[in-house]
Structure 1
Amino acid sequence: MRDSLKIAAAGCFIVLCAGGAQAQTSPRPLFVSLGDASRPPIGWIEFCADNPRECSAPRGEPRDVVLTNKAWKDLARINKWVNDTIKPVTDMDHWGVVEKWSYPEDGKGDCEDYVLLKRRMLIQAGWPREALLITVVRERNGDGHAVLTVKTDKGEFILDNQHPDIRLWSDTDYRFVKRQTQFDQNVWVSLGDPRPLMATATSR
């Protein structure tokens, strides 16, 4: 099924880039609404305590990626490689604790670990950190989940270990809770979701 990623990605890119007017009139919101400042997840705080160099990047200016065909292919390649390579495992099974964010150096990890690795690989490939934002969402059943938001001039796209395809944020069925800000990765902001609440969604 994952072999269809390249085809799906190409199709998505063509639809988005076929014409600016079409993208502008799309009923799907391209960008999520930002709210007030929010406390960073405890997993991020502990990750930074263990990896201070990873969290000491200087404040930067907001930067959105220009989503060229090459950029999309690079994004799809890295997303697919991480999803295919890392074996999903819970933190409790992996580390014996409820929550631990870390790079999946041993080839295993949960959602946050996928996100951290994708983010690092994209930065190493030359992508601006300010456009790669760790994001906390809620699944339909209310469970917490982490994804990577990639801010582009064509909208905000989601890299997700639970989905092979890269999707526009408003095409997912998640409720968006909070994420890193573009100017400072250690400052988080709550998110407003303009989409109507789904009948099957729950919160806790």
Structure 2
Amino acid sequence: MRASGATTAPVGHVEFCKHWRGECGPTANRPQLMPLSRARWDELLQVNADVNRRIKPVSDEELYHQAEVWTYPTDAGDCEDYALLKRRILISRGWSPSSLLITVARDIDGGGHAVLTVRTDRGDLVLDNQIEAVLPWYRTPYRYIKRQSATNAGRWTAINDDRVGAVASIPR
């Protein structure tokens, strides 16, 4: 994913940072790409599958009666909640916070969607609650808009997603 400069944080993330200040500060002076060993790959697969299996997909409107709430889910949540929990688990297992970036995209219906981008020495990978497989970012059906900064988890960077095959919406 090519970053193209600073941008605004999603409103839900701004509110999340008010409650979880320690999760939203500097992460690294120099962003780190995680070496992707077989063990690390297996760990990504396991964490992605485990969180996807444990957390029931429920909208913020249904769960909190609010349009947008970013938080750590215990048993239910929406896309950014899955991404936050996966990030937290991987950090607790020794992954560099600068390599684990919440990323906002448009899904195939044109709606907003969040995933966890994992920056590795073999490219950026996506952990998603809608697609079970861990895929390179360019193999997903999303149009990427922005993601957390690799140097500061409270700041956001615009994504220049100019892939010809990326789909923002599909007419029905």
Same-fold call, TM cutoff 0.5:
yes
Deviation at 1:176, TM superposition (A): 0.5
SS in structure 2 opposite 1:97? coil
Give the corresponding residue for 1:39.
8
Give the corresponding residue for 1:103.
72
Is the counterpart of residue 173 in structure 1 residue 155 in structure 2? Answer: no
1-side partners of 2:168 and 2:113: how far apart? 17
Identity of aligned residues (%): 41
Please report the TM-score for the alignment, with normalisation by the length of structure 1.
0.80
Any gaps of 5 or more consecutive residues in structure 1? Answer: 1-31
1:39-188 paired onto structure 2 within 5 Å: 39-57=8-26, 59-105=28-74, 107-188=75-156
Aligned length: 170
Letter in 2 for 1:97: Q
Moved more, 57-66 or 83-92: 57-66
2-side partners of 1:110 and 1:42: how far apart? 15
2-side partners of 1:44 and 1:135: how far apart? 11
Deviation at 1:194, TM superposition (A): 3.1
2-side partners of 1:166 and 1:197: how far apart? 19
Contact in 2 for aligned 1:34/1:192 (Cα 8 Å):
yes
Deviation at 1:199, TM superposition (A): 6.6
1-side partners of 2:82 and 2:166: how far apart? 27
Higher Rg of the two aligned structures: 1
Contact in 2 for aligned 1:44/1:101 (Cα 8 Å):
yes
Q: Does the C-alpha gap of structure 1 residues 74 and 199 become closer, same or farther in structure 2, counting only changes over 3 Å?
A: closer
Please report the TM-score for the alignment, with normalisation by the length of structure 2.
0.94
Deviations 1:164-193 (A, max 9, x none): 100000001100000011111111111011
Q: Could you list the runs of 4 or more consecutive aligned residues of structure 1 that deviate by over 2 angstroms after TM superposition? A: 56-60, 197-202
1-side partners of 2:119 and 2:48: how far apart? 15
